[in-house]
Structure 1
């Protein structure tokens, strides 16, 4: 799979691969490009080129059409196929009389060509033109990635957001049903959060949410997913996790949040908050949980019960009426 290099002005010089079987021409092109600040890799044949492109960090490929083994047209077709959505421009080098190769090369995806014997200024101009096009493409890719990230990330905490949650929990629930695997879900609420906002201001409240989010992430396994559900609530998904495993993770989360004070600035004053959380835990498979909506509803009901019983504890929906509070 091709991993596109998204160029940036602050990054290393553009990397150009050159496949040319004539040693004199190969060294001439390599020296010319290096002299103008490019990072250059030279090859006698086209065979290694496609594999090299798949490893990424390639900005441009220059291919002689006539090469031993795999010719330039075949290599161009292969490069374009492995690049996928990425863009690696290809310049073909042909003879003046080889119109057929130029037409065929452009038809299969080559981006430009230069004719032998070439003028050095023309080659540099075409290389720079292709790199400008690539930079424009890469800027679009970066902007698209930023938009995609903003669509699924909470701006304050950096966690996945409500939109991502509903898509992901539906997928996880369907997978659990299909493979007959357990799925646990924990709703987390920061205790007395309104008091913090009212007493110290929203900046301190935001700082508390950010720190709680970090502690949640630090307490989870790689396979677990934590999202900001909204306000002062978070939701944790624990794929392939049975009751005992879910309790273990929930205890770890509960302890991580309350283990040490949260420090924040209220104007010029430093404040310390002893944060605690209430958690509602629900599991699939279990009675009354037949969909991802049921699972969320069960976790929410368990959270409500934990708060009603005094907060700073874990309530498990599967055990109706049972409030579980870890012992330090």
Structure 2
């Protein structure tokens, strides 16, 4: 996969070397020679990833990374720190500044491209979620990847080394619910059980850790679960293979507790952010097709589903019928008891409507006090029976208002079955004509449209 990468280093020779390597793999490269330039370039260029040297004059890589991650316009960009430093304190400091990973000089090309591809895959997923969220019915998500640091989490640790498992568990956040698993099959089940992070020890000889990671990634229920893999420092091939399989991050043995804690926090923050984006998108999609007062589908959604059912019926599929219901004298309720009482009646009417439907029927508020029901697989006779059942359920007892009083309510209903090849507007018009016939005949009744072809 191609992407735009920002290379930041104060030494021109290092910049040229990295630029050449990346361009050879068809990456688009932009460059900066100090921290201020890097911050400005990140804002202006919006790269897909930043390779950031740690040791720079005036503003070092840690401060540069921290400022990039503090800026809402750039904090979503993965940052890989490039350093000659090997001390644990340096790695932890970088992770706490917001770095997503490290590359140690001299840089191994295989390792670099594996890490780059892994982070770019993650960013592509998050970018797609952010884009959809920004264009959804509920755009403007509150919060970001730095939120909920102290939130609880479910962590699954897979290792056959009890001492190592104990050390890994001790490094997890205090609020984490940690499960120790020794069998791959049990690990898959635990991962499906609302896990937030999976830590897999790839150094264990008792099971194939890479195969476990591959199964987690291939399972739809766990595909988005972050995986942190423990590898040997001299086993580059294993680490690269893990990253290519979709492991989110790797840490080398002997595992430093502070580094493990920092890497785990990073993965948990990312997952919470992605989960919030997905949840927000689900809410937005629900809002786009739902009437907020009654909780029923809205007119746009029901029209789309009705059109699908009519197309199926016209092509030899099951019949489809339409119920169009209108609450009788609804204006009187609003005028006599107020609009709050009217809203209460609409909500209770929707509840009674749903109680009498089949599982495959679709109900919607069509507008004002008018409701529709799409009945796939139902002919006119069956639809008329359902309409009469609804009429009776509404009329048999009054609707209780918030002040404790009760108001009598009735409904008039028009029913029509779709003709072969009929347009949606024609079906709705025939159901509407039947509805008005019911009203003109005295209300509180059901009338069916003539199903003979015009």
Q: TM-score, normalised by structure 2?
A: 0.62
| Correspondence 1:73 to 2:210 | yes
1:164-179 to 2 correspondences below 5 Å: 164-179=301-316
Contact 1:47 1:70 in 2 (8 A): no
Q: In structure 2, how many angstroms separate the alpha carbons of the residues matched to 1:181 and 1:82?
A: 35
Structure-2 change in CA distance of 1:179 and 1:59 (3 Å): farther
The SS at the match of 1:217 is helix
Match of 1:323 in 2: none
User: Match of 2:352?
Assistant: 215
Give the drift of 1:43: 2.5
8 Å contact from structure 1 (residues 65, 73) kept in 2: yes
The match for 2:122 is none
Q: Is the contact made by 2:171 and 2:257 (CA closer than 8 Å) also made in structure 1?
A: no
User: 1:29 Cα shift?
Assistant: 2.8
Matches within 5 A, 1:298-317: 298-317=430-449
Pairing 1:90-129 to 2, within 5 Å after superposition = 90-129=227-266
Distance 1:185 1:227 in 2: 11
The residue aligned with 2:61 is none
Distance in structure 2 (CA, Å) of the matches to 1:274 and 1:195: 11
Which of 237, 258, 274 in structure 1 is aligned with 2:408?
274
Q: Does 2:286 correspond to 1:152?
A: no
The C-alpha deviation readout for 1:119-151, integer Å capped at 9, x for no partner, is: 122212211221111111111111111111110
Q: CA deviation at 1:77?
A: 2.7
The residue number in structure 1 matching 2:180 is: 42
Contact 1:228 1:235 in 2 (8 A): yes
Identify the residue that residue 337 of structure 2 maps to in structure 1: 200
Which has more radius of gyration?
2
Does the 8 A contact of 2:310 with 2:320 survive in 1?
yes
1:52 to partner: Cα distance: 4.3
Q: Which structure has the higher relative contact order (CA within 8 Å, separation 6+)?
A: 1
* Pair 270,39 (structure 1): closer, same or farther in 2 beyond 3 Å: closer
Pair 85,56 (structure 1): closer, same or farther in 2 beyond 3 Å: closer
Deviation at 1:33?
5.6
Scaled by the length of structure 1, what TM-score is found? 0.84
Q: In the aligned structure 1, how far is the partner of 2:311 from the partner of 2:355? A: 27
| Structure 2 gap ranges (5+) | 1-146
Q: Deviations over 1:191-248 (max 9, x none)?
A: 0111222222211111111111111111212121110000110001111113332222
How far 1:67 sits from its partner (Å)?
4.2
Q: For this pair of structures, how many residues does the alignment match? A: 304
